């Protein structure tokens, strides 16, 4: 095959209609096939690409070519298009099976009904002497077996299937209580309930091939009665010759049609395209809309993006059986395609639109997709909104047995609101307000990270879980959810030290030395704690030091932290350059003393309100004590062996002794106050005891008013 012919087959297989057009324009062989004998038309039909089927048929694709395919993936609605092109619905494959056999074997009730409605004989036997009814019995598909058995009953009205007789029409009233739609919610997963009210299979007339004509809207007009039992000259219920059949041409003359090998490949599907209730009209649908509906259902992000860029309406509604009237956002939410959901929302798809009374949030709950629910919650959509029947997403998730969604909704339901605090290359940070508390949620998209950065995210998660210290930001929970890592942390209402430094600089006011001493003490205690566990922070800077509402400080953001083995040293050059130690910059091995250099940079900045980088000369002007200045200079020694450790500072810094003494006095005062409270409570208890003893000694005391 030529290169363009090969490309044509590939484009048809992948659903690239523009590529198909280009390949055909370049002279590609429309009937070229690979070793598997699949032609481009086979690929397009089997994968449900209606637009490409039309393109290939318009270029005289051979609809008679058989394909030796073991499995069938097609979409039955394309049967209508191929039937108009002259395909024989009674054609047989190599084992003698008709499309009706294959539909019955693959449990495709919609296809079975449609084929019977078009006059396909249920009496034809394959080479194993089995009818379609026999195939359904063999596979234990009782619904199809019962339908095929009932279809041959003498009292069956022509052109009307048993299932159509019991199926409610789209315009049928909802029963009192409004639960009809909820009972008929479709699902794509294991325990699939009954589908919503579906359109009946369309009858084809001689004029039905005129797509888009004589219709008042993209949806054809609905009639309440099925048309004649005859379509294209085939009378229902009569046996049809396996190899030849006669049909009525557009001019009325009878012509012979040869057995074609494509239709039988399409029977094993459950999606029958068409609208209405069997009025005989075929829906005129934009091929681009058909393509995007299929792409959304399959989670094909690239195709959805291409079509949205091309201008396809993001609020397009499906015409597929089992999905009728669902918007693209409903389909993606119900199917759990998170990236497609995000894409549609980016193109402003209407998240409030409803189908069967359910919005996109409700469809995500029906499907049980926590990832989709989380996306919508992060966007600010209400997860407590109700359907027309008063059901919330939690009701729907519970009704459909989606335990993970129920747990997530219960957890999020206890949270009142959220606010985005920041956004980075790999994730977002939210402030979540609960009934009684607040916490910070870091949401990290692992799929956007390199392997190295994924390791950093995992490391931070594991470290936070293992740390427990009053001056380190506390871990509140989290875990891995699909491609996301969620880390729930303590909320520090005072912001970070970097913001506080900017405020002081704007005011032109330095921090009080006593305040700096308090912060220094607590940061030293935090550093002593992690260094004692052989953990290096490696990114100590004002942005990673947080202020609590009480004025205390806490060390946070352990994304670049490293756990050292015994007597080992790190080599990776990581951190922020302005706070990075000389040995790290030089690419030399380093240990906890690198964190102490960064700590010195922070202390310098707290005293001067400016960065001293690159610290060629350390000079601290102002009213800070000489002992503080000496400590900062010792931390900013070029030689790491000369820098003090956190433990050494806590033991030797004279001003810290004053801070600790002041805090001890404060604690003693608190103890005295608590002691006095205990004394007062003891006295009250003794008084109550005396009263109870008096009441016990005189039983009439409570009921008797004693004279004054």
Give per-residue pLDDT as tens, 672-686.
Answer: 677 777 777 887 787
Q: Across all residues in the chain, what is the average pLDDT?
A: 72
**Residue 222: predicted pLDDT:** 30
Picking from 168, 136, 165, 166, the residue whose alpha carbon sits closest to that of residue 149 is: 136
Share of the chain above pLDDT 90, in %: 14
Mean pLDDT of 104-118: 77
Q: Is residue 250 part of a domain?
A: no
415 has a pLDDT exceeding 70 = no
Q: Is residue 700 part of a domain?
A: no
Are 511 and 403 in a shared domain? no
Are 516 and 463 in a shared domain? no
Radius of gyration over every alpha carbon of the chain, rounded to an integer in angstroms: 37
Last residue of a domain, one of 442, 463, 490: 490
24 has a pLDDT exceeding 60 = yes
Q: Is residue 554 part of a domain?
A: yes
**Residue 597: predicted pLDDT:** 94
Structure-model confidence comparison of residues 480 and 235, the more confident one: 480
Are 365 and 463 in a shared domain? no
pLDDT in tens, 425-477: 677 888 877 655 678 888 888 888 888 888 878 877 888 888 889 899 988 88
Q: Is residue 263 part of a domain?
A: no
Strands 545-547 and 254-258, sheet pairing: unpaired
Say how far apart CA 158 and CA 237 lie, in whole Å.
9
26 band by pLDDT with thresholds 50, 70 and 90: confident
Backbone angles phi, psi at 703, to 5 degrees: -100, 0
**Cα 568 from chain centre:** 42
Are 386 and 432 in a shared domain? no
**Residue 120: predicted pLDDT:** 82
Q: Is residue 90 part of a domain?
A: no
- Domain with 511 in it: what CATH number? 1.10.510.10
Are 537 and 647 in a shared domain? yes
pLDDT in tens, 166-198: 333 333 333 333 334 433 444 333 333 333 333
**Residue 613: predicted pLDDT:** 77
Q: Is residue 328 part of a domain?
A: yes
Structure-model confidence comparison of residues 511 and 79, the more confident one: 511
511 has a pLDDT exceeding 70 = yes
Are 302 and 342 in a shared domain? yes
Are 345 and 297 in a shared domain? yes
**Residue 280: predicted pLDDT:** 35
Say how far apart CA 339 and CA 346 lie, in whole Å.
11
598 has a pLDDT exceeding 90 = yes
Are 603 and 574 in a shared domain? yes
Picking from 217, 214, 213, 202, the residue whose alpha carbon sits closest to that of residue 276 is: 202
**Residue 151: predicted pLDDT:** 65
Q: Which residues are annotated as a binding site for ATP?
A: 442
Mean pLDDT of 603-616: 84
**Residue 665: predicted pLDDT:** 58
Are 460 and 389 in a shared domain? no
386 has a pLDDT exceeding 70 = yes
pLDDT in tens, 270-314: 443 333 333 333 345 678 888 899 899 888 999 999 999 888 999
Q: Rounded to the nearest 5 degrees, what angle is found at the Cα of 473, between the Cα atoms of 470 and 478?
A: 125
Q: Is residue 141 part of a domain?
A: no
**Residue 80: predicted pLDDT:** 66
Mean pLDDT of 517-545: 90
- Domain with 432 in it: what CATH number? 3.30.200.20
Q: Which residues are annotated as a binding site?
A: 442
Last residue of a domain, one of 383, 413, 443: 413
Say how far apart CA 332 and CA 338 lie, in whole Å.
7
**Residue 526: predicted pLDDT:** 93
705 has a pLDDT exceeding 80 = no
**Residue 79: predicted pLDDT:** 67
Are 483 and 348 in a shared domain? no
Are 298 and 322 in a shared domain? yes
202 has a pLDDT exceeding 50 = no
527 band by pLDDT with thresholds 50, 70 and 90: very high
**Residue 44: predicted pLDDT:** 74
Last residue of a domain, one of 461, 490, 519: 490
Are 520 and 618 in a shared domain? yes
Total structural domains in the chain?
A: 3
- Domain with 293 in it: what CATH number? 1.25.40.20
Q: Is residue 233 part of a domain?
A: no
Q: What string of H, E and C letters represents the secondary structure of 334-373? A: HHCCHHHHHHHHHCCCCCCCCECCECHHHHHHHHCCHHHH
Structure-model confidence comparison of residues 281 and 329, the more confident one: 329
595 has a pLDDT exceeding 90 = yes
247 has a pLDDT exceeding 70 = no
Range of the domain at 552: 497-658
Share of the chain above pLDDT 70, in %: 67
Say how far apart CA 321 and CA 170 lie, in whole Å.
12
């Amino acid at each position: 095959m030529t290169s363009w012919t090969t490309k044509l087959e590939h484009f048809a297989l992948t659903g690239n209609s523009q590529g198909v057009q280009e390949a055909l324009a370049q002279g590609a062989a429309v009937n070229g096939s690979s070793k598997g004998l699949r032609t481009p038309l086979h690929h397009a039909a089997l994968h449900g690409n209606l637009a490409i089927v039309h393109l290939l048929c318009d270029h005289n694709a051979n609809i008679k070519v058989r394909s030796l395919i073991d499995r069938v993936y097609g979409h039955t609605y394309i049967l209508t298009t191929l039937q108009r092109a002259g395909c024989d619905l009674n054609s047989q494959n190599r084992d003698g099976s008709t499309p009706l056999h294959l539909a019955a074997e693959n449990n495709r009730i919609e296809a079975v009904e449609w084929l019977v409605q078009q006059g396909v004989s249920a009496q034809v036997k394959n080479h194993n002497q089995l009818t379609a009814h026999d195939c359904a019995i063999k596979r234990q598909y009782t619904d199809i077996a019962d339908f095929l058995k009932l279809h041959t009953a003498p009292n069956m009205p022509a052109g009307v299937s048993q299932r159509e007789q019991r199926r409610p029409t789209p315009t049928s009233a909802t029963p009192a209580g409004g639960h009809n739609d909820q009972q008929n919610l479709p699902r794509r997963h294991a325990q699939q309930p009954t589908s919503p009210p579906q359109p009946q299979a369309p009858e084809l007339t001689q004029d039905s091939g005129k797509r888009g004509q004589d219709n008042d809207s993209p949806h054809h007009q609905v009639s309440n009665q099925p048309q004649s039992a005859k379509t294209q000259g085939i009378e229902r219920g009569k046996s049809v010759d396996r190899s030849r059949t006669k049909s009525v041409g557009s001019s009325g003359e009878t012509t012979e049609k040869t057995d074609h090998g494509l239709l039988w490949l399409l029977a094993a599907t459950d999606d029958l395209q068409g609208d209405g209730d069997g009025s005989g009209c075929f829906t005129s649908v934009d091929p681009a809309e058909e393509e995007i509906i299929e792409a959304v259902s399959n989670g094909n992000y690239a195709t959805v993006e291409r079509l949205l860029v091309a201008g396809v309406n993001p609020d397009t509604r499906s015409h597929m059986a089992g999905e009728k009237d669902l918007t693209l956002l409903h389909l993606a939410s119900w199917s759990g395609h998170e990236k497609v959901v995000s894409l549609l929302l980016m193109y402003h798809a209407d998240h409030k639109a409803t189908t069967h009374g359910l919005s996109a949030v409700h469809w995500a709950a029906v499907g049980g997709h926590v990832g989709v629910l989380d996306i919508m919650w992060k966007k600010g959509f209400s997860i407590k909104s109700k359907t027309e029947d008063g059901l919330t997403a939690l009701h729907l998730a519970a009704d459909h047995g989606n335990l993970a969604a129920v747990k997530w909704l219960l957890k999020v339901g206890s949270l009142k609101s959220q606010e985005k605090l920041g956004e980075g290359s790999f994730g977002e940070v939210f402030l979540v307000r609960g009934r009684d508390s607040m916490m910070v949620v870091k949401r990290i998209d692992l799929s956007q990270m390199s392997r190295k950065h994924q390791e950093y995210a995992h490391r931070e998660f594991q470290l936070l879980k293992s740390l427990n210290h009053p001056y380190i930001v506390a871990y509140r929970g989290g875990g891995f959810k699909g491609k996301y890592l969620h880390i729930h942390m303590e909320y520090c209402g005072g912001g970070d030290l970097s913001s506080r430094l900017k405020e002081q600089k704007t005011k032109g006011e330095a921090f009080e030395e006593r305040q700096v001493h308090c912060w220094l003490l607590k940061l030293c205690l935090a550093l002593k704690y992690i260094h004692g566990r052989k953990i290096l922070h490696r990114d100590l800077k004002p942005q990673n030091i947080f202020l609590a509402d009480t004025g205390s400080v806490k060390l946070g953001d352990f994304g670049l932290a490293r756990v050292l083995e015994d007597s080992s040293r790190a080599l990776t050059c990581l951190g922020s350059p302005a706070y990075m130690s000389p040995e790290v910059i030089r690419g030399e091995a380093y240990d906890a003393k690198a964190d102490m250099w960064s700590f010195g940079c922070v202390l310098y900045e707290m005293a001067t309100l400016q960065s001293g980088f690159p610290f060629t000369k350390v000079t601290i002007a102002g009213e800070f004590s000489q002992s503080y200045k000496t400590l900062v200079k010792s931390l900013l020694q070029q030689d790491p062996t000369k820098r003090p450790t956190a433990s050494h500072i806590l033991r030797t810094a004279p001003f810290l002794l004053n801070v600790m003494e002041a805090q001890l006095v404060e604690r003693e005062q608190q103890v005295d106050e608590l002691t006095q409270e205990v004394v007062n409570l003891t006295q009250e208890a003794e008084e109550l005891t005396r009263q109870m003893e008096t009441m016990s000694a005189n039983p009439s005391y409570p009921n008797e008013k004693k004279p004054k």
